[in-house]
Chain A
Amino acid sequence: MKRLGKYIALFVAVLIAVAPVYWMLTISLKLEVDQFASPPAWFLFSPTVAHYTDAFVTRSFGQYLLTSAIVAIVSTISALVIGTLAAYSLARFHLPHNLDNKLSLWILSTRMFPAIVTAVPLFLMMRDLRLINTRLSLIIVYTGFNLPFVVWMMRGFFAELPRDLEEAALVDGDSRFGALWRVVLPLVAPGLAATAVFCLIVSWNEFLFALVLTQTDAAMTLPVGIAGRVTQYEIKWGVMSAAGAVALVPILAFALAVQKYLVRGLSLGAVKG
């Protein structure tokens, strides 16, 4: 009896978590008649891809999608390169005055800033640099945004590696950089990949900076494009749902790929799940 109650509770929890997402998917596939049906049609309706072609062929969502992909990929790569170097330094070298630990904490603290606090000055700075409505502005901002995360995640992965490997490489005549490149990096590759996926997810989902920095069709990301449609008076529910469905496909695939590191990534390395 008790067991049954447990399963019912979990079933309800799963239903509540998944049903709303499924509901949006049905709306994206429904003709307008079916969208407004009462009572709501959960399973039986004649599907159509009209909203998808409307969004991505007729309207500019294809362009937003491209911008989102470019910004996410480029900012992830640059954050990863810069952050991994710093993380290795902080994990392996002892700086005078305990500076390595102080720097690590300071880097973490920059991640704790509420986004709106830096959004205002960053907008003004980008305006001065004439970078408003460019993909470059988003790439720069997301690189800075993801950097503390990369440093903390990679610092943890480096710290878990035994030092003997590098010592052996150095004895064999490798340079310090050579030891990092040929010996250490291949060993942290899984952690590096997981960190990259987290950066991709964060950049792909980010909304506030994108909203502030990009207003034109040529520069805005998918979330901003979707939001622009939601807050208008007449809302094309099908188009919006189709865009939303496309926006969440890569995310779900990514999330599946990093399940093992999920807790660690989401808690900034504080909990090793």
Chain B
Amino acid sequence: MLKSKKFFSAANRRDLFFPLILLAPALAVLLSLSIYPLIYSIAISLQYETANGLTWGVSNFGRLISDRFFQIAMLHTFVFAFFALLLEFSIGLGLALLLNTHIRGRGFVRAALLVPMMLPTVVVGVIWRLMLNPNFGAVNGTLKRFGLNTESLTWTASPRLAFGSVVLVDVWQWTPFVFLVLLAGLQAIPQEPYEAALIDGSSRWQTFRYVTLPLLKPAILIALLLRTMDLLRVFDQIFILTEGGPGFATETISLYIYRTAFRFFDFGYAAAMSFVLLAMTNVISTIYIRFLQTKEAR
């Protein structure tokens, strides 16, 4: 029985009093800071400006279909998330596998690799503005030393390179996170399956493919889930690095919503767009969690 699993089971109404009193403040805060704002947001997204003042209707959602900027920002967000996730996952997995072997100075390497992800994203933005500055930045300065021509490498200032720059900065900051979660997952795998694989004479690739990977799956899914959620709502780094520019080159959906609300004060349309983002992240996280649960059930 489920009941017996917990310390106090609330069999009658009086026993409910203590647990509910403990929960009440948290529920009140979450209702007023998460649920009420969502309802508020639905309300403003369903209102729009006409010649006779505010009217109710779905016109804000209709605009989404014909707004090319919205679609481009959406596309940017997906492309950004895809490439950043791909790079963060492959580099993170590689580093985790490297560090899961007997190696000297493991603690030091782990601590050093953690530095980027602990930094405030605003500071990360500042650091990379300094690093990527075409005139005095350390990146071009170092490349020049190796005899490379850096004249065309203007990084965040060039429409062609800006997108790559913001992806690389995110990879710099968040690969350590993927690495850390995967390393924890690797270290939780028991020794026995590896010994069995050794006895069966499987190759290193086979051991990785049929022993490590399946056992690492929960950690992989969690790392990917949390990264995907963060990548789809990316804002801070890009705001500092390029402000979505040059032109519209690095504008993502969060930046476009911010601009619509707080530069053009079109709150209704911003709210409508934010629901698309919310729906998207919901669908994607549900898919991940499904995967996670089926894997755990087996």
A interacts with B: yes
Q: Which residues of A contact B (CB under 8 A)?
A: 6-7, 9-10, 13-14, 16-21, 23-24, 27, 35-40, 42, 82-83, 85-86, 88-90, 92-96, 98, 100, 103, 107, 110, 112-125, 140-141, 143-145, 147-148, 151, 163, 166-167, 176-177, 201, 204-205, 207-208, 211-212, 222-223, 226-227, 230-231, 235, 237, 240-241, 244, 247-248, 251-252, 254-256, 259, 262-263, 266-268, 270-273
Q: Can you report 26 residue pairs joining A to B where beta carbons are below 8 Å apart?
A: A10-B95, A14-B113, A17-B115, A20-B116, A39-B144, A40-B142, A89-B19, A93-B10, A100-B19, A107-B26, A114-B233, A114-B254, A115-B235, A118-B38, A120-B41, A144-B32, A177-B18, A201-B118, A208-B235, A208-B236, A222-B120, A241-B126, A244-B123, A262-B114, A262-B180, A273-B184
Contacts of A38 in B (CB 8 A): 135-136, 141, 144
A114 and B180 contact, CB distance less than 8 A: no
A144 and B226 contact, CB distance less than 8 A: no
One of B53-61, B79-87, B255-263 at the interface: B255-263
Q: With A82-B29, A263-B184 in contact, do A116 and B277 touch (Cβ < 8 Å)? A: yes
B155 within 8 A of A: no
Query: Beyond the given A21-B127, A205-B122, A231-B239, could you list 7 further A-B residue pairs with CB under 8 A, ordered by the A residue number?
Result: A36-B136, A112-B229, A112-B282, A114-B232, A207-B239, A255-B118, A270-B222
Contacts of B6 in A (CB 8 A): 92-94, 100
One of B62-70, B193-201, B204-212, B266-274 at the interface: B266-274
Identify A86's interface contact among B23, B35, B184, B261, CB under 8 A: B23
What is the bound-complex CA distance between A207 and B138, given in angstroms?
26
Contacts of A119 in B (CB 8 A): 258, 261
What is the bound-complex CA distance between A9 and B91, given in angstroms?
11
What is the bound-complex CA distance between A93 and B9, given in angstroms?
6
Q: With A17-B112, A92-B6 in contact, do A121 and B41 touch (Cβ < 8 Å)? A: yes
A103 and B23 contact, CB distance less than 8 A: yes
Identify A39's interface contact among B103, B121, B145, CB under 8 A: B145
B298 within 8 A of A: no
What is the bound-complex CA distance between A141 and B226, given in angstroms?
22
What is the bound-complex CA distance between A124 and B177, given in angstroms?
34
Contact mask for chain B residues 19-32; partner A; CB cutoff 8 A; 1 contact, 0 none: 11011011101101
Identify B25's interface contact among A35, A82, A166, A247, CB under 8 A: A82
B222 and A207 contact, CB distance less than 8 A: no
What is the bound-complex CA distance between A38 and B133, given in angstroms?
12
Contacts of A241 in B (CB 8 A): 126, 130
A95 and B285 contact, CB distance less than 8 A: no
Contacts of B36 in A (CB 8 A): 125
A207 and B236 contact, CB distance less than 8 A: yes
What is the bound-complex CA distance between A271 and B233, given in angstroms?
23
What is the bound-complex CA distance between A110 and B277, given in angstroms?
14
B158 within 8 A of A: no
Q: Which residues of B contact A (CB under 8 A)?
A: 2-3, 5-10, 16, 18-20, 22-23, 25-27, 29-30, 32-38, 40-41, 44, 95, 98-99, 101, 103, 109, 111-123, 125-131, 135-138, 141-142, 144-145, 172, 176-177, 180-181, 184-185, 187-188, 218-219, 222-223, 226, 229, 232-233, 235-236, 239-240, 243, 254, 257-258, 261-262, 267, 270-271, 274-275, 277-278, 281-282, 285
Contacts of A226 in B (CB 8 A): 122-123, 126
| B interface: dominant SS | helix
Q: Distance (Å) between the CB of B84 and the closest chain A CB?
A: 16
What is the bound-complex CA distance between A9 and B37, given in angstroms?
48
Most buried by A among B27, B123, B138: B123
A20 and B128 contact, CB distance less than 8 A: yes
Contacts of A14 in B (CB 8 A): 109, 112-113
Contacts of A118 in B (CB 8 A): 33-34, 37-38, 41
Contacts of B177 in A (CB 8 A): 266
A271 and B219 contact, CB distance less than 8 A: yes
Contacts of B122 in A (CB 8 A): 205, 207, 223, 226-227, 244, 247
Q: With A21-B119, A93-B6 in contact, do A40 and B136 touch (Cβ < 8 Å)? A: yes
What is the bound-complex CA distance between A86 and B31, given in angstroms?
14
Residue in chain B with minimal CB distance to A141:
B33
B126 and A240 contact, CB distance less than 8 A: yes
Residue in chain B with minimal CB distance to A251:
B118
A23 and B131 contact, CB distance less than 8 A: yes
Contacts of B109 in A (CB 8 A): 10, 13-14
What is the bound-complex CA distance between A226 and B129, given in angstroms?
12
Residue in chain A with minimal CB distance to B5:
A94
Residue in chain B with minimal CB distance to A176:
B18
What is the bound-complex CA distance between A186 and B35, given in angstroms?
33
Q: Distance (Å) between the CB of A67 and the closest chain B CB?
A: 14
B30 and A110 contact, CB distance less than 8 A: yes
Contacts of A248 in B (CB 8 A): 118-120, 123
Residue in chain A with minimal CB distance to B177:
A266
B277 and A114 contact, CB distance less than 8 A: yes
What is the bound-complex CA distance between A119 and B18, given in angstroms?
34
